[in-house]
Chain A
């Protein structure tokens, strides 16, 4: 008698660092290329007519047209899915495209979302204004108390949504609690995990069902490409929920396919790709995927350094006489300090805010005195970035309106990069002194 799979010890998964470098790619079978090749092509030659038909009808795996899938983009998708522990991913033209794709795959006119108030402005616009025009309403609730999500759920609610670290107050989303509320209501929880990346936090391990990144930020890290990635955990049971006809009823737009019947774990991604990318078309370009992959390959090296430098800068600012307040969850006075210790033991990221004394004029002087920090509207770059919302993104708002948005006239947002931390501190010190004169 021959023994079969008589293994005695527990097998091991590849580590995060290994997946960041390898997941999704074998050396190119055509050329042996070790680096991920850039398949700069729109389309793929069919072997014969039967092969063509079988690709179109999802009887064989492969690529047909780069709006729907592309070999370079697929490497990024698989790699991010591996890092997040999902069943798969879809790369998109931007983080906003990823959010739109998630929503459009799950719902339509007459449906409702409960979202955190602590969102990136672009997401707030999409939910609060644009989607309303298409019949999808959103109720915004403070994420600080998960009960707020439960209270806002209605019979037509299809999704709960928040950011792992909210904007601008770095509210830490209690993912486990909000996910439990979502699952009680038989709906999924979607999170924007851009600020934390899979290195600092894995939302699926805490119960989130779907997540997305603006890959433009830390995943890329270099500030050269706009990109998004939507990842599915594959854990939400769409059939048992009974609320998602887009996934559980025959879809005339794809030969009457019932996506959940095809595959319970892949239903969401099947529809998102076969309808969402096909019809809305917000796909990622192969060159963009290649550029984001260059960043992902060093994510595990960059994030610890981002966090280490951020801690130094936070410590410096916390004791500076020109600073009224620093908002960072690792500080004991942050409202989510305890939750952050539990969810984010490796650090609370590298984007945070502080309030400069002296309001708008001081903020303006501060920004104009910086030499190393770049004044621009982005975060998550290898270079340190700064913005003063009251004189830029929110400059039309009164002080009262700013307050409602969780911002003061003196709020400054920093994104700490990978420069020498002391150079950053010196730069901030010089600019703060100038601002207080």
Chain B
């Protein structure tokens, strides 16, 4: 397994936070946020799920399988999880399965159920480039291609497409199907945070409602000018929400 650690060796004395990326993406989705935590007293493991980024192998076909994989790969006995989209489903599955190991979870850009439109799923199944376009356009707020990226000089759409083009055939379909098929049957009892983008068209905030009801005591931060990819569209607000959540 590859996990970005912000250049730090594992320190047993520090708490551990695991970052889990969304469908078709990799650890660099959390470029700024994971680096912050790595330099502020945490062990950071921003993982690449199998078949993504630097972790070789076939992608895991279900959210529950991804949760099992995570428990096997993460050496820390207790850890928190920050998950984005599909990664958020993994976070809540982990929290439900092993409350003794999962300290708290932050779910960014999440909805439940996470049904994927047939056109998107079908394009991904055919490994059609249209699926990358849908991922890129629907994955950001409508103003993203015209607005200013928070990181100087970066064009968000281009960066997303370049990442998706690195995927092996079938990986995006695998991930989307895992989201589409996921059924959450457990219970989350640990502290939970929802970070949602008001302009998210992939997982609109209202579609997190059933989860917010289910996870009692969960906190919600609604980010005004962001779509689904909050970590890059609203990096500071996302980081501030995480800092606040993990400090309290």
**In angstroms, how far is the closest chain A Cβ from the Cβ of B125?**
15
A263-B28, A265-B28 in contact; A61/B150 too (CB < 8 A)? yes
| Per-residue contact bits, chain B 21-46, to A (CB 8 Å; 1 contact, 0 not) | 00000101001110110010000000
Once the chains bind, are A261 and B4 in contact (CB under 8 Å)? yes
**In angstroms, how far is the closest chain B Cβ from the Cβ of A256?**
5
Tell me if A85 is interfacial: C-beta within 8 Å of chain B. Answer: yes
Once the chains bind, are B203 and A4 in contact (CB under 8 Å)? yes
- Contact pick for B134, options A10, A22, A77, A264, CB 8 Å: A10
Q: Across the two chains, which residue of chain B brings its CB closest to A236?
A: B162
Q: Across the two chains, which residue of chain A brings its CB closest to B201?
A: A5
Tell me if B133 is interfacial: C-beta within 8 Å of chain A. Answer: yes
Contacts of B143 in A (CB 8 A): 26
Once the chains bind, are A19 and B145 in contact (CB under 8 Å)? yes
| Per-residue contact bits, chain A 1-25, to B (CB 8 Å; 1 contact, 0 not) | 1111111111111100011001111
Once the chains bind, are B31 and A263 in contact (CB under 8 Å)? yes
Once the chains bind, are B7 and A54 in contact (CB under 8 Å)? no
A81-B153, A265-B162 in contact; A3/B4 too (CB < 8 A)? no
**In angstroms, how far is the closest chain A Cβ from the Cβ of B118?**
8
Contacts of A6 in B (CB 8 A): 115-118
Q: How far is B159's CA from A71's CA once the two chains are assembled, in angstroms? A: 19
Once the chains bind, are B119 and A7 in contact (CB under 8 Å)? yes
A59-B35, A60-B236, A82-B155 in contact; A23/B119 too (CB < 8 A)? no
**In angstroms, how far is the closest chain A Cβ from the Cβ of B27?**
9
Q: Across the two chains, which residue of chain A brings its CB closest to B139?
A: A5
**Could you give 6 example pairs across A and B, Cβ below 8 Å?**
A4-B114, A5-B116, A11-B133, A12-B137, A54-B36, A59-B239
Tell me if B13 is interfacial: C-beta within 8 Å of chain A. Answer: no
**What are the nearest 7 A-B pairs in CB distance?**
A234-B162, A69-B152, A77-B153, A59-B36, A81-B155, A11-B137, A74-B152
Tell me if B106 is interfacial: C-beta within 8 Å of chain A. Answer: no
A57-B39, A88-B159 in contact; A258/B7 too (CB < 8 A)? yes
| Per-residue contact bits, chain A 303-347, to B (CB 8 Å; 1 contact, 0 not) | 000000000000000000000000000000000000000000000
A2-B207, A4-B111, A262-B28 in contact; A13/B145 too (CB < 8 A)? yes
Report A374-420 residues with CB < 8 Å from chain B CB. Answer: none
Tell me if A237 is interfacial: C-beta within 8 Å of chain B. Answer: yes
Tell me if A58 is interfacial: C-beta within 8 Å of chain B. Answer: yes
> Which residues of B pack against A, CB within 8 Å?
4, 7, 26, 28, 31-33, 35-36, 39, 53-54, 111, 113-120, 123, 130, 133-134, 137-138, 143, 145-155, 157-159, 161-163, 165-166, 201-204, 206-207, 209-210, 235-236, 239
Q: How far is B166's CA from A239's CA once the two chains are assembled, in angstroms? A: 12
| Per-residue contact bits, chain A 84-126, to B (CB 8 Å; 1 contact, 0 not) | 0111111100000000000000000000000000000000000
Q: How far is B123's CA from A282's CA once the two chains are assembled, in angstroms? A: 44
Contacts of B130 in A (CB 8 A): 10
Contacts of B202 in A (CB 8 A): 4-5
- Classify chain A: how many residues form its interface, as a range: 35 or more
Once the chains bind, are B133 and A13 in contact (CB under 8 Å)? yes
Contacts of A189 in B (CB 8 A): none
Chain A CB count within 10 A is highest, among B150, B154, B207, B235, for B154
Main secondary structure of the interface of A (DSSP, over half): loop
- Contact pick for B163, options A60, A264, A273, CB 8 Å: A264
Contacts of B203 in A (CB 8 A): 4-5
Q: Across the two chains, which residue of chain B brings its CB closest to A229?
A: B153
Once the chains bind, are A233 and B162 in contact (CB under 8 Å)? yes
Once the chains bind, are A273 and B153 in contact (CB under 8 Å)? yes
Tell me if A250 is interfacial: C-beta within 8 Å of chain B. Answer: yes
Q: How far is B149's CA from A24's CA once the two chains are assembled, in angstroms? A: 7
A61-B151, A85-B158 in contact; A22/B163 too (CB < 8 A)? no
Q: Across the two chains, which residue of chain B brings its CB closest to A22?
A: B146
Q: How far is B122's CA from A22's CA once the two chains are assembled, in angstroms? A: 32
Q: How far is B103's CA from A217's CA once the two chains are assembled, in angstroms? A: 57
Q: Across the two chains, which residue of chain A brings its CB closest to B204?
A: A4
Q: How far is B229's CA from A102's CA once the two chains are assembled, in angstroms? A: 30
Tell me if A235 is interfacial: C-beta within 8 Å of chain B. Answer: yes
A60-B36, A87-B154 in contact; A266/B117 too (CB < 8 A)? no
Contacts of A239 in B (CB 8 A): 54
Tell me if A78 is interfacial: C-beta within 8 Å of chain B. Answer: yes
Q: How far is B80's CA from A19's CA once the two chains are assembled, in angstroms? A: 41
Tell me if A257 is interfacial: C-beta within 8 Å of chain B. Answer: yes
Contacts of B28 in A (CB 8 A): 262-266
Once the chains bind, are A78 and B149 in contact (CB under 8 Å)? yes
Q: Across the two chains, which residue of chain B brings its CB closest to A77?
A: B153
Tell me if A211 is interfacial: C-beta within 8 Å of chain B. Answer: no
4 extra A-B contacts, CB within 8 A, seeds A89-B155, A265-B159? A1-B115, A7-B134, A264-B166, A273-B152
A74-B153, A265-B28 in contact; A81/B207 too (CB < 8 A)? no
**In angstroms, how far is the closest chain B Cβ from the Cβ of A231?**
9
Report A237-279 residues with CB < 8 Å from chain B CB. Answer: 237, 239, 250, 255-258, 261-266, 269, 273
Q: How far is B4's CA from A286's CA once the two chains are assembled, in angstroms? A: 35
A13-B145, A82-B145, A264-B28 in contact; A88/B157 too (CB < 8 A)? no
Q: How far is B189's CA from A5's CA once the two chains are assembled, in angstroms? A: 28
Once the chains bind, are B146 and A5 in contact (CB under 8 Å)? no
Contacts of B204 in A (CB 8 A): 4
Q: How far is B210's CA from A234's CA once the two chains are assembled, in angstroms? A: 38
Once the chains bind, are A4 and B116 in contact (CB under 8 Å)? yes
Contacts of B158 in A (CB 8 A): 81-82, 85-88, 233-234
- Contact pick for A60, options B26, B32, B149, B210, CB 8 Å: B32
Contacts of A269 in B (CB 8 A): 153-154
Once the chains bind, are A2 and B137 in contact (CB under 8 Å)? no
Contacts of B151 in A (CB 8 A): 61, 88
